[in-house]
Chain A
Amino acid sequence: MRLSASARAEKSSLDDEAGGMSVLDLPELVLECILERLPPAELCSMAGVCTSLRERCVSDHLWEKHMKQKWGRVIGPAAYREWQRHLASRKDLGSCKQGKPKWFMRLLSMFWPSSWSTPKADPINNSKQRSSPPVNSIMSWYLALETGKFWFPAQVFNRENGDVGFMLSCYDASLSYDQGTDAFQVRYPSHGRRAIATESGVPWERLRAPPFDTSPHDLHISDCLNDVRPGDHIEIQWRKNKEFPYGLFSIPETCY
């Protein structure tokens, strides 16, 4: 649609800018363009400038890109389900003051600054009142990952004794990000007689989202075995057997 210049002139509300231009007077689209160019930390800062900017800076469409960029490679459906579980547990705990996890209280107070002490309040009404995003916004998830408060499931490539033979194998694990070192803390689940193992300083390169959305304890049934051709790369699962951690069957005892 093309408007004539005079129509545009009438449409625009920028003519009384003598008192100093504010970014809030910018047309919606222009402000959006600026916000789209801001990295996550700046979006957070902008959200702290005033309520009107906060309303904009918390919207999912601005965070989706950042989420994908930083976390897309290591976050899979399992991690998303885990996040949803966290959110749901927060809901359950809403009426029980003792039970709320500390980190969640902090997240809560961030998004519901005026209402976090009244957790039963209707989130939708609150969001209108204070222009805050729902707790299940992408921003809240991004921040929970970024600050390491949220442990997410992913797979970690093995570095067992640097033996090349095993470096292609990986474990299912629970991970927490450490911003200071740009690396991860890892908790490997207990398997049979093996206790929970932990590792820290695990770099991004050793992570991947599970290629299949199957629990570490279940066998994944491949539906493409008939299509396998010579030269194809295949992955073998050593799951199912609870006596031993998967992925370690062929390592001699002397390695431990």
Chain B
Amino acid sequence: MSSSTDSPTLTTETTQLSPQPDTETAKPTKKITLKSSDNQIFEVEESVAMEFATVKSFFEDSPSTDTVPLPNVTAKPLSQVIEFCKEQIKFKANPDEAQKKKYNAEFVTEKSDKDLVDMIPVANYLEIKDLLDVLNQAVADRIENKSVEYVRSFFGIDNDFTAEEEAALRREHAWAYEGVDED
């Protein structure tokens, strides 16, 4: 790790990438219109839209389309997903793993539980693998060391165990139930 100075691909803290990647000025920016299931319109740059594998293949199938309907996606998670992908494109232009990791961590930290859980099906539907990985890990991290009740409310799941089953589970999984964080 200490050999970062001889590696030309690594960017150090002091030489961070500029916020505007060169590619944006080099290419004419084509906009693509996305329409969410609640009829909100999002104009995004083509490079961002192409991060969505689903949208990309939609365009490959019907190149003349100007608006891509996304019947499975509501506006709020979509706007957050777009925000994420915009940043990822900057990292593609100027690879900096440390910065990218930092951004990804901050991206999920500031989201509410609901926002996180709502974004997962969107990332899955749009086939944004990087985001899906980040979200899955974030969810796994958030339920770590939490009580069963917390996990239930986190995911909005109803308890369908009988009282006896629940008591048996509680006894048997005692070691897992011990020392959980306060909800």
Contacts and interface: CB of A to CB of B under 8 A. Distances in A.
Interface stretch (B11-19, B40-48, B81-89, B141-149): B141-149
Given A9-B72, A45-B147, A50-B158, A37 B137 contact: yes
A113 B155 contact: no
Contacts of A24: 155, 157
Interface in B110-139: 117-118, 120-121, 124-125, 132-133, 136-137, 139
A27 B125 CA distance: 9
B54 interface: yes
Interface in A1-56: 2-6, 8-9, 12, 14-15, 17, 20-27, 30, 33-34, 37-42, 44-53
B173 A12 contact: no
A30 B144 contact: no
Contacts of B133: 33
B158 A38 contact: no
Contact of A50 (B72, B125, B157, B170): B157
Please classify the interface of chain B as helix (H, G, I), strand (E, B), loop, or mixed, using the class held by over half of its residues: helix
A114 interface: yes
Contacts of A47: 169, 173
Contact of A41 (B118, B137, B161, B175): B175
B130 to A, nearest CB: 13
A146 interface: yes
Interface residues of B, number: 52
Given A106-B171, A109-B172, A26 B157 contact: no
Contact of A22 (B57, B124, B157, B168): B157
Interface in B148-183: 148, 151-152, 155-162, 164-166, 168-173, 175-177, 180
A5 B55 contact: yes
Contacts, number: 143
A9 B72 CA distance: 7
Given A5-B57, A22-B156, A49-B159, A30 B120 contact: yes
A21 B121 contact: yes
A110 interface: yes
A202 B146 CA distance: 30
Contacts of B169: 47-48, 110, 113
B136 A42 contact: no
Nearest to A41: B176
Contacts of A22: 155-157
29 contacts: A3-B57, A4-B58, A12-B125, A15-B37, A15-B71, A21-B121, A23-B155, A23-B157, A27-B124, A33-B133, A37-B140, A38-B140, A38-B144, A41-B145, A41-B175, A41-B176, A45-B176, A45-B180, A48-B161, A48-B173, A50-B160, A53-B157, A106-B171, A110-B171, A113-B168, A113-B169, A114-B162, A114-B164, A143-B172
Enumerate the 7 nearest inter-chain pairs by beta-carbon distance, A residue then B residue, closest first: A110-B172, A5-B58, A44-B176, A37-B140, A23-B155, A113-B165, A41-B176
Interface of B: 37, 54-55, 57-58, 61, 68-69, 71-72, 74, 117-118, 120-121, 124-125, 132-133, 136-137, 139-140, 143-148, 151-152, 155-162, 164-166, 168-173, 175-177, 180
Interface of A: 2-6, 8-9, 12, 14-15, 17, 20-27, 30, 33-34, 37-42, 44-53, 106-107, 109-110, 113-114, 116, 143, 146-147, 179
Given A15-B72, A44-B173, 20 more contacts: A5-B55, A6-B58, A9-B69, A14-B124, A17-B121, A22-B156, A23-B156, A26-B121, A30-B132, A33-B136, A38-B140, A41-B176, A45-B173, A46-B143, A48-B166, A48-B169, A50-B160, A106-B172, A113-B165, A179-B175
